[in-house]
Chains A and B, each alone.
Chain A
Amino acid sequence: MNRHLLSIDDLEVADIHRIFATAAEMHDVQKREVKKLPALRGRTVINLFFEDSTRTRSSFEIAGKWLSADVINLSAKGSSASKGESLRDTALTVTAMGIDGLVVRHSASGAAEQISRWVDVPVINAGDGTHEHPTQALLDGYALTRKLGTLEGKHVAIVGDVTHSRVFRSNVKSLVKLGASVTVVAPPTLMPSGVGDWSKAAGFATSYDLDAVLPDVDAVMMLRVQRERMSGGFFPTAREYTVGYGLTRNRLDLLKPGTPILHPGPMNRGLEISPDAADAADSLVLDQVSSGVAVRMSVLYHLLAGEPESMGGESA
């Protein structure tokens, strides 16, 4: 395994399976009375968030704390970044305090990777612009694997604002690595330009017709419609988006019985996902949240607990 987790590209298939196996053990810890493991005792992790986030930040915070690490949250608001400090200076300053790991969220694509070149501690990308959100993809893959047994040969639809979605970019890589076939469904205006060549290279299919795709899939992953896109001319009205690409009550009937429904949250109920779908028995939304803590514990453990020089090998 690489020293940093910046992109799903950093992980071999075996690494992903190792992260899932560890996450399964971490999941059991959530059921215990004493939700603490001593693996990261004495280590300090900083959540460096230049962009608003509630669930990802608190998920990393809980994950670190349950592994006995000290977790400190720094947000850009009210910090030196808002006073004009450069990204490099902020990263070097917090690292100079003697920390052992950085979790970075930033609105600029590539920010986490840039920081990883400056600092000498493992960096975990918690979302960078429209690029990647690897721990989200890992938790989605983990939750799906638990539900379906394996992703090998399964068909997953990813539906929504693909162009602006880092969740999509990470997920398509990890799902394909895990052996699933992926169909991306989006309105033409929200499909990335040049998606034809990309989909061929990355091994996924594209479609503009949600109703045609739904009957064939083993899982459906809805992406959030970001409010700022509403005024960007990508679709005429919210209503029109829902009619074409929302997971409505009627569309639930198109799915095979028991098809799991995922959404990374926060959900726009009534827009991309109807309450009937969000609260359906097959909805994995809350399972994704608890999986998120387990997977992030696993990632923190593998990146921070062991001997840095020999990280990644399997010990005898």
Chain B
Amino acid sequence: MPTHAQSPAEGRVVLDAGDISRALVRISHEILERNKGAEDLLLLGLHTRGVPLARRLADNIAKVEGTTPPTGSLDVTMYRDDLRSHPTRAPHRTELPAGGIDGKTVVLVDDVLYSGRTIRAALDALSDLGRPAVVRLAVLVDRGHRELPIRADHVGKNLPTARSERVSLRLSEIDGEDEVTIR
């Protein structure tokens, strides 16, 4: 179990648990506002930390709308353009709700938006899975340094960074606590 004493060594905390929670509540409202309700909404989390984020957004939306929008998970390993420059790894599960993605408003949910290459891969993966009516992108942190013409529709926090810095998100579902650090 990590202790707080370790946190400074792991970098500067830029978002604590309260900040993350408030950002997710705001994004949930933005998604609803943009979509004019929760109809045909599907929240698709990108592995690894986008998956619990998508579930939290769905829970927030349920509190406002009364119904929980369907969530799913998307693994883009096979679609990455840097597949050849890394050792292979086993892909994670791609899980879609029973209705599929056809005609849905799909909100891709990821933790940190950086080069945009993961999102590019996710868009390719989506087109093999069906034809959504609309695809939007929600991220907790946008750290800049895009390498492709991709932008997020909903951003928790814009975080100017240097390329040499490392932004990492910890989530209680996976890491035992909520925190965004930079080092």
Contacts and interface: CB of A to CB of B under 8 A. Distances in A.
B85 A307 contact: yes
Contact of A307 (B87, B128, B129): B87
**A: contact size bracket:** 20 to 34
B89 A314 contact: yes
B86 A306 contact: yes
Q: Is the interface of A mostly helix, strand, loop or mixed?
A: loop
A281 B84 CA distance: 42
B94 interface: yes
Interface stretch (B13-21, B33-41, B75-83, B173-181): B75-83
B170 to A, nearest CB: 15
Given A36-B128, A38-B78, A39-B78, A310 B86 contact: yes
Nearest to B75: A25
A23 to B, nearest CB: 9
Given A32-B128, A38-B78, A38-B124, A22 B90 contact: yes
**B: contact size bracket:** 20 to 34
A93 B84 CA distance: 25
Contacts of A36: 128
Contacts of B3: none
A312 interface: yes
Interface in A192-218: none
Interface string B94-124: 1000000000000000000000000000001
B6 interface: no
Contact of A306 (B79, B88, B92, B124): B88
9 contacts: A24-B93, A25-B90, A33-B130, A37-B78, A302-B88, A306-B83, A306-B87, A313-B87, A314-B87
Given A32-B129, A38-B79, A301-B78, 8 more contacts: A18-B90, A25-B94, A32-B128, A33-B130, A36-B128, A37-B78, A37-B128, A39-B79
Interface of B: 75, 77-79, 83-94, 124, 128-130
